[in-house]
Homo-oligomer: A and B are copies of this chain.
Amino acid sequence: MLERVPKTKFGMAVQTTEGQSFLAGDALEPFSIQSISKVYTLTLALKSEGEALWKRVGREPSGTAFNSLVQLEYENGTPRNPFINAGAIVIADIVRSNASDCRNALLEFVRARSDNPSVDHDPEVAQSERRTGYRNVALANFIKSFGNLDNYVDEVLDFYFYQCSLSMSCLDLARSFSFLANGGQCPWTGERVLSVSQAKRINAVMLTCGTYDAVGDFAFRVGMPGKSGVGGGIVALIPGRLSVAVWSPGLNPKGNSLAGTLALELFTTKTGVSIF
């Protein structure tokens, strides 16, 4: 499915915590957010489960590919962090255990955070992943064999494939990360989504684990906490100032958007913003 999207697409959106938006290129065109959804489910899991979730998933960079089973075996079924696939599957299990209708809970959350009630998932993408996602089925069954999933494997995977198939634009994404750039509080509704400390911590996990096994390079070149997806999207932020989303479907060998990473590098170089 993803490979059908033209590689020439490029969009970018900046959302300041003071309410301004800046758009460029295909910033309003929805695309498959894929792994970026892991930030939303981690937020939901933190809200319902609190710090106890760190007993079931770590918060260290993996040093290996996003879909590796190696580390999981050496570390007895505890994924290294919530942003590799294995960790996100455990987080999906937690969200599922805590919501009577987890798909709907996620959708409502994302619509509220992006201030866009028309955000939805793409059933064709979900279907395609379910058909071909053998590696993720392997991961989920492997985790289950270690006793680190409470729900049925199929139910967890159903929700996991659903979250990956959410379709959003750069503007939606930049807005939806505003609460993380704003100390846990939604800038326009004033709603407290997470505590100040929790928001900082998600930002820290994004910086050390958010861009697969290229986190060092991303921190080095871009200098912002961020989360990428294989659909070509990346969202990043400067605490207290802004969130920024880019989209370009061509990926580099590490699975991050090639043009997107370059655009963010240029953005921080030109504006001088950086957390470092």
Contacts and interface: CB of A to CB of B under 8 A. Distances in A.
Nearest to A140: B138
Contacts of A144: 134
Contact of A135 (B60, B141, B153, B205): B141
Interface stretch (A21-29, A69-77, A160-168, A255-263): A69-77
Oligomeric state, in number of copies?
4
A139 interface: yes
B58 A60 contact: no
A103 interface: no
A64 B63 contact: yes
A60 B204 CA distance: 16
A179 interface: no
Interface in A239-276: 239, 269, 274-276
A220 interface: yes
B59 A62 contact: no
Interface stretch (A36-44, A91-99, A210-218): A210-218
A145 B74 CA distance: 21
Interface in A139-173: 139-142, 144-145, 153
6 contacts: A134-B144, A134-B153, A138-B138, A207-B207, A209-B216, A239-B274
Interface of A: 58-64, 68-71, 73-74, 80-81, 134-135, 137-142, 144-145, 153, 197, 199-201, 203-205, 207-209, 213-217, 219-220, 223, 225, 239, 269, 274-276
